[in-house]
């Protein structure tokens, strides 16, 4: 099946620092999604990207759809303690009969106050 | 408010017993999914359903069964054949179904199953 390489696997940062994580694949995709999972809860969609080169922000979060359509990154600026959680990238090929998301293995973020 | 509800939040099962996890959505979504989450493993797809009365195996379907008798409901049964059932189980739904474009998933809050 399709493989997504998400890195880093985990991060330990101080409050106020910026964070960057990314996902890469050997396959081309039409959509990139970024989810956050709080401890003991289900993932929640943060940002959706539908066009190569697209750069989208959601508050302190910024994500980009790579121009090659094989990668995406997520940046978090000025981290705060509530940013703690697992961040997942996910992809799919839109249109037609494709209906399943493929998820990265996640980046576990810990923020020290 | 529309959403997707999983119950119970915590579930304990004795070895050799079957147990059913509930997933209900009132989002009018066609497609529903079950994932298993283990530490460091990410999300692994168990079963999915694009339409009522139809479902397909995912990557780790062995030891699990599902039904999709109603659009709103997609219960997952963890059978005694599942050798390592202790995990966090997530249900999701999406507006896309058969022949329709998926625009991301809405997840439930999960059920933590522990075998005792």
Local confidence pLDDT in tens for the 113 residues of chain A: 567 999 999 999 999 999 999 999 998 888 899 999 999 999 999 999 989 999 999 999 999 999 999 999 999 999 999 999 999 999 976 554 456 788 999 999 999 99
Provide CB contacts within 8 A for A41, sequence distance 6+: B109, B110
Between chains, do A96 and B97 touch, taking CB under 8 Å as contact?
no
Interface probe for B, chosen from A88, A96, A99, A103 (most Cβ of B below 10 Å), is: A99
Query: Are A100 and B42 a contacting pair at CB < 8 A?
Result: no
Contacts of A94 in chain B (CB under 8 A): 101-103
Q: What is the pLDDT along chain B (116 residues), one digit of tens a residue?
A: 679 999 999 999 998 899 999 999 999 998 999 999 998 788 999 999 989 999 999 999 999 999 999 999 999 999 999 989 999 999 999 887 555 555 678 999 999 999 98
Measure CB to CB from residue B45 to each of A48, A92, A100 and give the nearest one. A100
Q: Which of B6, B50, B109 sits opposite A99 (nearest CB)?
A: B50
Residue B107, pLDDT score:
95
């Amino acid at each position: 099946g399709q493989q997504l390489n998400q890195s880093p696997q985990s991060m330990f940062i101080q409050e106020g620092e910026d964070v960057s994580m990314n996902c890469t694949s050997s396959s081309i995709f039409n959509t990139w999604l970024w989810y956050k999972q709080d401890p003991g809860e289900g993932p929640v969609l943060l940002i959706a990207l539908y066009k190569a080169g697209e750069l989208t922000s959601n508050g302190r979060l910024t994500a980009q759809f790579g121009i090659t359509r094989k990668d995406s990154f997520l940046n978090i600026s000025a981290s705060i303690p509530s940013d703690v959680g697992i961040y997942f990238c996910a992809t799919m090929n839109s249109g037609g009969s494709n209906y399943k998301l493929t998820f990265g293995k996640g980046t576990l973020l810990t923020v020290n106050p | 408010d529309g959403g997707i509800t999983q119950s119970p939040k915590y579930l304990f099962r004795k070895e050799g017993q079957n147990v059913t996890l509930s997933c209900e959505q009132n989002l009018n979504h066609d497609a529903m999914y079950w994932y298993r989450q283990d530490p460091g493993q990410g999300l692994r797809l168990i079963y999915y359903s694009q339409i009522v009365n139809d479902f397909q195996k995912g990557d780790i379907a062995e030891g699990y069964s599902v039904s999709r008798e109603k659009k709103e409901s997609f219960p997952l049964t963890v059978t005694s054949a599942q050798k390592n059932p202790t995990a966090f189980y997530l249900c999701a739904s999406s507006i896309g179904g058969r022949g329709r474009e998926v625009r991301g998933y809405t997840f439930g809050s999960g059920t933590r199953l522990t075998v005792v």
